[in-house]
Amino acid sequence: MNIGIVCYPTFGGSGVVATELGIALANRGHQIHFITYNQPARLDTTSNALHYHKVNVEEYPLFEYQPYELALSTKMVAVVLAHNIDILHVHYAIPHAYAAYMAKQMLAEKGIPIKIVTTLHGTDITLVGNHPSYKTAVTFSINQSDVVTTVSQSLKEETLALFEIDNEISVVPNFIDFKNYPDRKEPGCKEEQIAREGEFVISHISNFRPVKRVTDVIEIFNRILKEVNAKLILMGDGPERPKIEYMTKELGIFHKVHFMGNTSEVAKILCYSDLFLLPSEKESFGLAALEAMAAKTPVISTNVGGLPTVNKHGYSGYNYPIGDVDAMAEAAIGLVRDSLKLPLFKEQAKKQARQFSIEKIVPLYEEIYNQLM
């Protein structure tokens, strides 16, 4: 099949899922065309089944805001025509589902039918999409898609509760490619590069937005440090990073925190982590938790959205109500101090992650495409 994938090319979860899906589909014999404004962060287009088409937005002094949807739908039409695309799979509703609907109408004028699959990822529903400025257009474009999927049952329920949806919604969870997550003892996983002898490695990945509650990560880590020797690795970047740096300095723990910024070395860093913290306010799925678990890292998280399905309380880690930093710190300290429990939870984390293996999930998308054709 010839499939167009539209996504954000950044380090955000929806972009990562879309990119990994495209790569997996290309490995299964499909021709994949990414349509977005930059080459997706984790995409290597050396394969002859993976293609990237840049959306160019022309700047014009009259515009305070550049009309990205217009440029995107124009590019979608061009790519569909040039490469005989069968399906456009758009990730993140805003503005991709809306632009896809426009592209479909323009192509219909030319007698070319195209199917639209929309995957909802989280904040496109729970935070941004629900805003009165966007809600009508988001509802419309979800209802106009040929197939709608969400990355968790919890996101499906929130979508149905927040919007007037008269379309079916299928749940297709996020997935993980275990090939990218070597076991601790395999080459390429060198703990001594990041931590000193005797230091437990605690990690966190996010886009440093308020919804991720990175301040809680610091609160938890500060409590952990009072009891055990540890180091915190923060991966990712975003608006709250300066505030977080300031907070660690105020608490006198800056020397124990390593700010890595955006990195493609997530798997390598996770494989020498002892614990992963994800105290988010909202998390439709929690791909970062799944990535940690695939690298045998137990997760201490909140119990919101899709997190309890991904991170099993008392098995792959623990989850607690939003803001309960005392409980999260206590669980973390208990786990790293317990020389029997910690290795057991590491094994269990990887076992739990196997439920979401790429081999199990990607065929679900293929099934959806086949039914549409």
Q: How far is CA 112 from CA 51, 77, 108, 115, in A?
A: 22, 10, 5, 10
d(CA 148, CA 360): 19
Binding ligand GMT (rule: CB under 6 A), the pick from 31, 36, 123, 311 is 123
Question: Is residue 12 a contact residue for ligand GMT (CB under 6 A)?
Answer: yes
DSSP calls for 251-263:
TT-GGGEEEEES-
Of the candidates 71, 53, 112, 116, the one whose C-alpha atom is nearest the C-alpha of residue 89 is 116
β 169-171/200-205 pair status: unpaired
CB of 278: closest distance to ligand GMT in angstroms?
9
CA distance 109 to 307: 44
Q: How far is the CB of 349 from ligand GMT (least distance, A)?
A: 17
> Quick one: which segment of 14-22, 94-102, 251-259, 340-348 binds ligand GMT (CB under 6 A)?
14-22
Within the chain, strands assigned E span 2-6, 31-36, 50-54, 87-91, 115-120, 147-150, 169-171, 200-205, 230-235, 257-261, 275-278, 299-302, 317-320
For residue 77, the surrounding DSSP H or E stretch is: helix 68-83
For ligand GMT, the binding residues in 281-300 under the rule CB under 6 A are 282-287
Specify the residue, 176 or 333, whose C-beta has the smaller distance to ligand GMT: 176
Could you say whether residue 122 binds ligand GMT (CB under 6 A)?
yes
Work out whether 173 is an interface residue with ligand GMT (CB under 6 A): no
Our finding on whether 4 is near ligand GMT (CB under 6 A) is no
Peptide bond into 95 cis (omega under 30): yes
Binding pattern for the stretch 89-118 against ligand GMT, x by CB under 6 A and - elsewhere: ---x--------------------------
Task: Kindly tell me which of 177 and 199 has the beta carbon lying closer to ligand GMT.
Answer: 177
Q: Does 22 bind ligand GMT (CB under 6 A)?
A: no
Amino acid present at 272: Y
Which residue, judged by CB position, is nearest to ligand GMT in the bound state?
122
Residue with Cβ nearer ligand GMT (285 or 318)? 285
* Helix, strand, coil in percent for the chain, rounding step 5: 45, 20, 35
CB closer to ligand GMT out of 17 and 114? 17
Site size with ligand GMT, rule: CB under 6 A: 19
Interface residues with ligand GMT (CB under 6 A) are: 12-15, 17, 92, 121-123, 151, 174, 207, 211, 282-287
